[in-house]
Amino acid sequence: MLSSFWPSHRVQSSTLADLPTISSVHAGNHQATITWTPVAPQGKVSPTYLVLSDPESVRCRTASLSCVLSPLRNGQHYDIVVRAVFGSALGRSSRSVEVTPATVPQPPSYVVATAGDQAATIHWQAPHGDGGLPILRYRATLSPGGMSCTTVVALSCTVVGLTHGLNFTVQVRASNAIGESDPSLPSPPVQAGLAPVTGVVVHAANGPSGLSSATIEWTRIPKSGVAYDATSSDGASQCVVVDETSCTARINGLLPVSFSVTGHTTTPYGLPLSTLPSLPSARLPVRVVVLLAGQSNATGVAAPGSGFPQVSLSTPAEQQSSLVWDPFDYLPVPKRGWLPMSTPQQAKGAVTASFGPEVGLARAVLAETHRPLAVVKVTYGGTGLARGWNPARTNGLYAEMIHFTKRQLVTDQSAGVVDVLRGFVWFQGENDALSLSDAAEYLNNLTAFIHATRAALPWATGAKTVLISESSAISIAKRINLGFCGDPACADEVTADALVRSADRQVAVNLPGISVVDSLGYPRANDAVHLTAESELAIGEVTARALGPALGLPQEARIPSRRGAHQ
């Protein structure tokens, strides 16, 4: 057997005129091209030639001095011989020459790139076919830019020195002794950056300083100078720290939220570099809360009013929405804390259980958003802003409202629920309208009261305040008709009532995020002061419209107006 050199081999010329000598062999894709030297004729008979392979006995017959032997299997070693043929007589065979058909490999498959810190690691699967020869090298090339990495055996390599934010794909080629394959299909697009942050968890923040907030924790990236940005799934809450493993964010949204964390830093060249967002945390329970405060019509002491039909509190809103109220002005209930809004509230001295505008408010919110509402209720009958609710009093009603609200928020926080304060409803004014001097100071007192309330509690971004403007006009008119009130007393009361109502409107103009709902014109009980049950429901619904987007209601909420006529 003649030894051969692949892919082509030149063979020494034979001195035997009747013996073909293979002069060259060139391997190809599923074929081999063979050439040889001629032999002398036998008499008048010129030779033809038969080329044979072993194994498989692939053959070709020709009168020329070369032929292409096919089909052959790539990677299979063949012994090739050439014989001269004279008519029907076979001449002697040449010495055999070895050949191995081959071609370039098929492209690699399933190329995936993973972005790292100014780098990308590329993984792939070996080609389905190596072309008949061992794979000698892989080359992965990024596009755009043309940066690449190579490997001899491994099915992965890493490209370093990438620019942050570069969006790229990767193609991989395989090479054998023949040459390089066509490129693979491109990988899915990837953006260069840091490896994502891992281990993100969220829970209600601890302590009074963390009211209405969440603490987000994560595992640090092994790199200094990284700013970690924790952002909620609704985009309404965020906190940013540098080289820390946790931060605390005020919860502002209306729904349970998860958090994802993104790391931000710079390259050695000063270019910005960021991770992809982490996998989101588990969702954090959220309760949307409205604070309701004021005097007797906020309590609802006369509802249901004398001579008016009673209202059944059995709709889904009362069953699903919750209420907690300061027990100071009420008869005891079986347990403290959140109760269904259908739970009877009976103020001290009242004949029946009652409710304020919270029921109509909850009904409207559930109807429009399909979400229940929670109301913290702090109300005291016969109290005024000049003295009882004055924020300057350390032991007054304002201080009790703040203390009671914070205590409930802390209790819920300990149970893993974040209360989100989205609305404040203030329903008061008739007591201050009993005095000209108090009424004259109502604008200043109300302004200070709103400022203090906003500063003392952890209101969500976008929270809104509604002032339900009271009026003593019906009561004054009734007393005049009955002869119980004459000048100058009645004239002073009319003036004081107008000053208080004007103050409500002026505060709404002077301060942001405030709307006014007018209670004038809604039916009242026989005392001409306290609203009927139907009026409380109607005012609650209009209050929901005024709070609007703060509670997730559309700008033009479809809430019917049930405004009644003057009594």
What pairs with residue 51 in β-bridges? Answer: 60, 82
Both 331 and 445 in one domain: the answer is yes
Q: What backbone phi and psi angles, to 5 degrees, belong to 479?
A: -70, -35
Q: What is the pLDDT of residue 17?
A: 62
Residue 260 sits in the same domain as residue 299: no
Nearest residue to 297 via CA among 465, 562, 518, 513: 518
> What is the pLDDT, as a whole number, of residue 114?
84
Query: 399 and 434: one domain?
Result: yes
Residue 563 lies in a domain: no
Same domain, 312 and 424: yes
Sheet holding 66-69, edge to edge: 22-28, 31-36, 66-69
Last residue of a domain, one of 191, 218, 249: 191
pLDDT digits (tens, 9 = 90+) for 265-308: 875 556 577 777 899 999 999 999 999 999 989 988 654 444 44
CA distance 220 to 263: 9
Whichever domain contains 147, its CATH number is 2.60.40.10
Output the six-digit token pair for 486: 């004459």
Query: Average pLDDT for residues 214-226, to the nearest whole number?
Result: 90
Q: Could you write out the DSSP letters of every residue in 69-102?
A: E----TT--EEEEEEEEETTEEEEEPPPEEE---
Residues comprising the chain, all counted: 567
Residues contacting residue 565 through CB under 8 Å, at least 6 positions apart? 521, 523
C-alpha to C-alpha distance for 560 and 517, rounded to whole angstroms = 14
Is 6 inside a domain boundary? no
Q: Quick one: tokens of 475?
A: 């009561």
The CATH number given to whatever domain includes residue 476 is: 3.40.50.1110
Tell me, yes or no, whether 142 and 245 share the same domain: no
Question: Does residue 87 share a domain with residue 59?
Answer: yes
Q: At which residue do the structure tokens 């958090």 appear? A: 259
Could you report the per-residue pLDDT of 431-480, keeping only the tens digit for each? 999 899 999 999 999 999 999 999 999 999 999 999 999 988 888 887 77
Domain end call among 99, 130, 163: 99
Output the pLDDT for position 323: 94
Query: 394 and 446, same structural domain?
Result: yes
Name which of 15, 131, 125, 33 is nearest 82 in CA terms: 33
Q: Is residue 232 part of a domain?
A: yes
Owning domain of residue 33: 22-99
CATH of the domain at 216: 2.60.40
527 & 389 share domain: yes
Q: What is the predicted pLDDT for the residue at 164?
A: 64
Q: Once rounded to an integer, what is the mean pLDDT over residues 77-88?
A: 92
Is residue 196 within 8 Å of 117, Cβ to Cβ?
Answer: no
**Per-residue pLDDT reduced to its tens digit, 104-132:** 999 999 999 987 777 889 999 999 999 99
- Which of these ranges, 15-19, 307-311, 330-334, 421-425, has the smallest mean pLDDT? 307-311
Residues 370 and 335 reside in one and the same domain: yes
User: Looking at residue 104, what DSSP letter applies?
Assistant: P
Q: Is 5 within a domain? A: no
Final residue belonging to a domain, choices 139, 167, 191:
191
* List of E strands, 459-521: 459-469, 514-518
The structural domain count of the chain equals: 4
- The model's pTM: 0.68
Short-list 131, 155, 118, 68, CA closest to 265: 118
Report the candidate in 521, 511, 537 with the shortest Cα–Cα distance to residue 354: 537
User: Are 263 and 377 within one domain?
Assistant: no
279 found inside a domain? no
Token pair 């909420």 is found at 557
26 and 142 housed in the same domain = no
In a domain, 380, yes or no: yes
Establish if 104 belongs to a structural domain.
no
> Are residue 436 and residue 485 in the same domain, yes or no?
yes
